[in-house]
Structure 1
Amino acid sequence: MASSRKWATTISFAASCIYFTVIIIQIPLFSVPCRSGTCTSPIAVTAPHLMACDLFPLVAIKALVYPSAIANALVKNEAIPSYSNLKLHDPSAVKAADAIADLQRLEVLVGSYLSVAGAFCGLIKPWRMSFYGVLLILWGLVKEIILSKSASPNLIYIHPAMSIAVCSSFLSLAKDVRRMIRSCRGLQIVKEKRL
């Protein structure tokens, strides 16, 4: 029987890869109004902010968004868009009201940044960054749904795929997975002794 460390490492690596895939191809996890209209993934939330603050070159932001454009084209059975013709949201078209609304959803914004950074860092070494990011997004969305009863309920929505992001971000933490395996083995030993 393999050791708990090997099992935890294997499970953690597989969960990190699943989480990276969910984030990078922009599987819809939620629906929230943002600068570019309606955002359904952490990258859709972070890309307009990265463009507006001019910290990253446009080439890097296009590289971040391009895998999801390829995935969308394959799903819709369309031609794959060229990298040079990839359309991004124009940051100069952002109204002041949109920027203030983004600040009101600060948990979703910060959680999205942590989720995207955690997805990339998780391929090298899994950290808690991705798990905290997903939890922060969930907290922000639930808070927004509870507090804004006057707004239309269709504007803010948590998709069922969010459960995949939560589970894979948690299972990417090898130490926690190792503790779970040890406790399950301990329960199994206790049951065997009782029999």
Structure 2
Amino acid sequence: MASSKKWANLICSIAFSIYFVIIIFQVPIFSVPCRIGICNTPLEVTSSQLIASEVFPVFIAKALLYPGAIAKAIWHWKSIPSFGNLLKLHKFNMRLVSAASDLQRLEVIAGSYLSVGGAILGLIKPGRMCLFGILLLMWGLIREVIMGRSSLGHEKGIHNHIYPAMYIALVAAFFSIKKDVRKIVRSFAREEDVKVKRY
């Protein structure tokens, strides 16, 4: 019993770490029109909405974007951008998006908020918010393609809007939920015990 609990905790911690890296360090997982042109990460969607709403200080959006900016700079062998020029780098508020356009992508916006919130709150205690966020994001993107509302020109296929990293994030989000993982590990442990008893 103790070993199965350890295995479950190990799986959850690894899964959440993968999910956290994908979300916070802004690994591209989708492609959707937004206020900066094309957003590829939930953090870009969330930050653009936070800046446009003017409810939270710009500092919060910058703080969310900075780890990803550092990771991108290191990955592309470029100089690390300064905190002050971060919004110019992302070209925020350069493209005006109407409220009606935002409402059409409500699932993507809500899913992005939940994905980012799940990654941050998961540092305290991983929960289902991560999974709900990714599922809502996927549903919003798939629905946009099916309804033919995408403004990405000739790229109409789902695979052009959802990148492979999205599926990794989905699996990682599922396996970061301790209760579900413990049930899976226990069921495997019981099956192994039954096999041992048979032989």
Same fold by TM-score greater than 0.5 = yes
Q: Which amino acid aligns with 1:173?
A: I
TM-score (normalizing by structure 2) = 0.89
Partner residue of 2:178? 174
Partner residue of 1:139? 139
Partner residue of 1:28? 28
Aligned 1:145-160 pairs, distance under 5 A: 145-148=145-148, 152-154=153-155, 157-160=161-164
Partner residue of 2:9? 9
The yes-or-no answer on 1:190 pairing with 2:191 is no
Partner residue of 1:83? 83
Partner residue of 1:165? 169
Q: Which amino acid aligns with 1:94?
A: L
- SS in structure 2 at match of 1:29: coil
CA contact 1:13–1:123 (8 Å) conserved in 2:
no
Aligned 1:36-75 pairs, distance under 5 A: 36-75=36-75
Q: How many residues align?
A: 193
CA distance in 1, matches of 2:54, 2:39: 20
Is the deviation greater in 155-164 or in 101-110? 155-164
Alpha-carbon deviation of 1:145?
A: 1.4
Alpha-carbon deviation of 1:2?
A: 4.5
Unaligned runs of 5+ in 1: none
Unaligned runs of 5+ in 2: none
TM-score (normalizing by structure 1) = 0.90
Q: Which amino acid aligns with 2:112?
A: S
Q: Which amino acid aligns with 2:67?
A: P
CA contact 2:144–2:150 (8 Å) conserved in 1:
no
Change (3 A) 1:144 1:27: same
CA contact 2:4–2:189 (8 Å) conserved in 1:
no
CA distance in 2, matches of 1:129, 1:44: 18
Alpha-carbon deviation of 1:93?
A: 4.7
Q: Which amino acid aligns with 2:177?
A: L
Q: Which amino acid aligns with 1:134?
A: I
Alpha-carbon deviation of 1:92?
A: 7.3
- SS in structure 1 at match of 2:164: coil
Change (3 A) 1:130 1:153: farther
CA distance in 2, matches of 1:116, 1:46: 8
CA contact 1:48–1:89 (8 Å) conserved in 2:
no
- Measured on the aligned residues, the alpha-carbon RMSD in Å equals 2.0
CA distance in 2, matches of 1:111, 1:165: 13
Identity rate, percent: 50
Change (3 A) 1:3 1:140: same
Q: Which amino acid aligns with 1:148?
A: G
CA contact 1:111–1:136 (8 Å) conserved in 2:
yes
Q: Which amino acid aligns with 1:8?
A: A
